[in-house]
Amino acid sequence: MQKEKRLIWGRQYRSFIDAFVLDKKFFMSYLYDIVFYFLIILSFIFWGSLLKGKAEALAGIDYSSVFLGSQQQMDASLNVLQSFLVYLLSSLIVLILVMVLIFTVFKGMIWTSLMGEKRNLRYFKNLFFANALFYIPFILLLTFLLFKDMGIIAGIVFLFVMHFNALSIYYISSGKGFRSGLGNAFKSGVNVHRFILFYALFGALFFILDLFFGLVRENFTSNLYSGTVILLILVFFLCIVRNGFIKLVEKIK
């Protein structure tokens, strides 16, 4: 029993150390990740500009007419509000699907490259549906929890989603199909003790990194410059975590 525990902790510690062994594939994955986050940010900016243009129609509404005006004024105001709400929800759904598609393409290229696996259209199809299965319900649940001021629960949900989604990406990228990939992900993922030290070590490292981010914010006069530097360093850190995570799963699968 003690020998098995030492083996489990040893695998996690060794994977943490091995995460910092960086090669050409790692740096290529870092560049792909930079492009990925750039496209995600652009998607949000574009969506925000569309909403801003659509929201200008709301500025012309006399909201008192909704309750005190004539039936015709009330109907006109409610139609504008209803139109904006439908546009907001439909555009949000499109945005989520676009983000999942971008995530699937770039993460699929990165994971298969790091793992030395081949990729084809069927692989990306399986990965897209797996990501959609994780992220669409998660985003809706996260939005609900944040509106209810349940930030701690939202954070726990976020960590579990990241944990199981990373495992599903690993197994699907290793050649498993959609069902078997998800099955292996949940089978491995429920054994959280096989990952807890690995996560704790990187959590401690992130705490130190966050202190450094505070210094960056203080020493850059522009939020754009400080935000860019923090993003580049954070993405590099996440790439290292992924590098170690792949090596850990290879040891325990």
Give Cα separations from 6 to 3, 10, 150, 187, 193 (angstroms).
Answer: 5, 6, 37, 21, 12
Per residue in 30-89, pLDDT (tens digit) is: 999 999 999 999 998 998 888 887 777 666 555 555 555 555 666 666 676 777 788 888
The two structure tokens encoding residue 158: 């976020």
Residue 140 placed within a domain: yes
How many domains does the chain divide into? Answer: 1
Whether 133 maps to a domain, the answer reads yes
∠ CA(61), CA(147), CA(230), 5° rounding?
Answer: 100
Instruction: Decide if 177 is inside a domain.
Output: yes
97: left (phi over 0), alpha (psi -120 to 50) or beta: alpha
Question: Is 71 contained in some domain?
Answer: no
Tell me which residue range forms the domain holding 158: 117-189
pLDDT less than 70: residues of the chain = 1, 57-78, 80, 146, 151, 221
- Judge whether 152 lies within some domain: yes
pTM above 0.75, yes or no: yes
pLDDT value for 75: 63
